[in-house]
Amino acid sequence: MAFDFHADKQRYFQIQYENSKTSVLPFVREHVNITSETRVLEIGCAEAGVLKPFLELGATCVGIELHSERIEWAKKFLGDYIAKEKLSFIARNIYDIDVEKDLQKKFDLVILKDVIEHIHDQGKFIARLGDFLNPGGKVFFGFPPWYMPFGGHQQICKNKLLSKLSYYHLLPVPLYRAMLKTGGESPERIEALLEIKETGISTSRFEKLLAKNNFEIAKRQLYLISPIYTYKFKMPPIKQVPILSSIPFVRDFFTTAAYYLVQRHS
């Protein structure tokens, strides 16, 4: 794997924590006041590093994660907050959750960091998010647009060249599959990468899905250099210039991360 921190759970947790504290939290706080009364839900929370800065400000947090082994790591890293009843986890699909029965209360903020690009039927998924929100609640999305240099998540390839080669995920499926197979990638990894090719999302399609499902954009920031690249490549984040951000489709080729804060139409 190109980035060994994915296998080092402690380091991966720390990176997610630091990235959340320096980029996600400041972005969100422009529209959401995080206090001890705030309820935060993260869907696809993994080891819950993204939630830690919100916990430090006193928020009550819930993490939803399909992989129970990742929740076990989160419990090790954030056990003190669980003991204080400020943090809990659910290992279940969001469609199988009864909000009133399983969560008791709704949320002021829902976080989806590097999640939406893995979801099938994204319109249905976005519509479901409204069920978790308090009146005036917000949803944060952070994701790499499909057409960006590494929008196919090819950095997970074992082959060093393939893990660093940009844009080839845009090739037709037969050519893409052949290239991965020739590079020695396992059948399991090839299928995972092809699934991302199927679910990858552009900023334009994402914004259309928001509008279709009665959400409006409260804030948007596109990055030429993603905040997470500070840890991957030791490159400081660079925001995309407004004139480029205003050009649909073209902007995605030069956007390594898209941050959105959205809310239901009033």
pLDDT digits (tens, 9 = 90+) for 125-143: 999 999 999 999 999 999 9
CA 257/CA 144 separation, integer angstroms: 5
pLDDT in tens, 24-64: 999 999 999 999 999 999 999 999 999 999 999 999 999 99
Specify burial of residue 35 (Cβ count, 10 A radius: 0-12, 13-18, 19+).
exposed
Burial class (CB in 10 A: 0-12, 13-18, 19+), 259: buried
Task: Give the global pTM.
Answer: 0.95
Q: Which pLDDT tens digit goes with each residue over 145-201?
A: 999 999 999 999 999 999 999 999 999 999 999 999 999 999 999 999 999 999 999
Domain boundaries, the chain: 4-147+201-264, 154-199
Residue 6: what pLDDT? Answer: 56
Q: Give ∠ CA 166-156-40 in degrees, rounded to 5.
A: 105
Q: Is the pLDDT reported for residue 1 higher than 50?
A: no
Higher pLDDT, 104 or 93: 93
pLDDT reported for residue 15: 96
Lookup result for tokens 């959401």 = 32
Contact present, 148 and 202 (Cβ < 8 Å) = no
Which residues are registered as beta bridge partners of 215?
264
Confidence of residue 8 (pLDDT cuts 50, 70, 90): confident
Angle between helices 122-129 and 203-212 (to 10 degrees): 50
CATH code, residues 4-147+201-264: 3.40.50.150
